Amino acid sequence: MPLYHHESATCSACKSHLNSQSGHAICDLQGALWEVDPDFIKIIQQNLPDGERGKLPSFVIAQLKDKGSYISDTVRIKAFRNNARTFKLCATIQ
């Protein structure tokens, strides 16, 4: 199980979060979170409360793989391919 690393996993391409609460992370293709900032954890816990600690829900990772983003009424997560095995994520409050 990956550990939360309180490092800055910021995305260089995401500009939509400049005026809203945002958090950043890096995850693998199975949804395991590897580098996570505290704001990302807070956003995920508040908006996806049934998720397993250290992992995105399967329905979220499926949409990230398929469409590059997950959007609900309360949160938006954008995914940018980091390499062949990981995504950089930017979560913002809607």
Quickly count: other Cβ atoms within 10 Å of residue 8's Cβ.
8
Q: Which of 4-18, 24-38, 61-75 has the lowest mean pLDDT?
A: 4-18
What's the rounded Cα separation, in Å, for the pair 31 and 56?
5
pLDDT band at 34 (very low <50, low <70, confident <90, very high): very high
Report whether pLDDT(19) > 60.
no
What local confidence, expressed as pLDDT, does residue 2 receive? 44
Task: Kindly provide the residue ranges of all beta strands, DSSP E only, lying in 1-94, ordered along the sequence.
Answer: 22-28, 33-36, 69-71, 75-81, 86-93
pLDDT at 8 over 70: no
Q: Is the pTM of this model over 0.85?
A: no
- Domain ranges in the chain are 22-93
Contact 7, 1 (CB under 8 A): no
Residue 49 DSSP one-character state: T
The angle at the Cα of 85, spanning 35 to 20, to the nearest 5 degrees, equals 45
Region of poorest pLDDT, from 15-19, 58-62, 78-82, 90-94: 15-19
